[in-house]
Amino acid sequence: MSKPSWKIRRRVVWTSVGVGILLIVSGILAVFQDRMGAGDLIAGGVALMTLIASAYIGGAVAEDVRLSRIDEGDPDG
């Protein structure tokens, strides 16, 4: 039995947010240790979280539009 798409999408989003937070925390730790690439880790984490949030919102909107068209049926009869 397949899960509803919003449940799958939500699991992917939370996993990706966790990875993004891990990247940001790793970048913060690298800053305190004066390592090169710390800014890249932080920027990558923020970019990942921004892209995932955008994809989640876009997927939800697309699904709402698709489901509303199915519910309305054929207006011409």
Higher pLDDT, 72 or 43: 43
Higher pLDDT, 73 or 31: 31
Sequence-distant (6+) residues with CB within 8 A of 49 are 16, 17, 20, 21
Q: Amino acid letter at 62?
A: A
What tokens appear for 76 in the block? Answer: 């011409």
Q: Is the pTM above the cut of 0.75? A: no
Residue 77 is predicted with a pLDDT of: 46
Q: What is the pLDDT of residues 16-63, one digit of tens each?
A: 889 999 999 999 999 888 888 888 888 999 998 899 888 888 888 888
* Residues 23, 28: Cα–Cα separation, whole Å: 9
